[in-house]
Structure 1
């Protein structure tokens, strides 16, 4: 089972669908396994990894219910703290965003903004909205992946921080197109969320003016 990405919280492996699930089927699956943290108490570490694994699987499932494209979950193993999911074929947004013409880039970012609004309207916070966690599939759908830092929170603060993270990513990784790209995200967000978006967009600006994050328990 080849390792394709080693992260701070989890490792990703690519495996043949026939070897992991059903022999008669082709294709590939992605296996996400949470990493044990040696500095934590062993029992606490196990419980945290179990709960995060279960929560991520539920977030992925609920995001799909909200109308957001996410990988299909095939299997959740609490004991091994792993998730077997669909391997999404496509292009990572981080790799293509700057190479698009202006019209295509705005269209893609408006689509991303609408997807984020659907998540937020359902009470889901992605927690790591970066262009590395978005894949444009061949049919044009934008898949959101890696909900490992996600949560359920309908507060303006949480939603504002979620959007702020994307804005920060655009400015740091796509500086030359960041202004245009984020404005298109905001436009799509407003199109989907309606009048409820205004207060959240204001909160993004407030978060950026503070220059720091607010602990979850202090969010209003």
Structure 2
């Protein structure tokens, strides 16, 4: 593995979150349990677990260097080339980041695919901001648009997000990306809306894209 592997990126200016320092939990390749049609990364087979894993302490050192170097960071954003909740040491990483971040907010960008797992459900509660994706409300849509791994039960995702929203005390943001002819039909939009009403997030970010 390369010694100069980039574990963090930025800081960059985010219109919604301010100055953001990113953490990449899959810096060597795409590792994801979804294979979304609109994904900008190169296509890759969906996975249930990561097979290339970086030690927590390496991330902490990289983040500490960035914190010491930069005058101001508004948010530390946990992300990945793929899905960050697949990282097996996520809870430990979050705990250690909370110890060094000071007043900086800690956020994750997740596809929601593992929100129903107890370890992920608990770990994400330690974050200041959680941004979850929900592009679909039906099994057919999940399979066609998000192309979820066969190990994932779409209903558990929906139920997990709703349950998480009831106990989470931070800022919960939902993201919906509408893709022409796939999830922008009235019945799918109505179903997503009904789920969002149950979640009652602090904010909903909506995007659109032509069919890939």
Q: Shared fold (TM-score greater than 0.5)?
A: no
TM-score by length of 2: 0.29
TM-score by length of 1: 0.28
Q: Which has the larger radius of gyration?
A: 1
Structure showing the higher helix proportion among its residues: 1
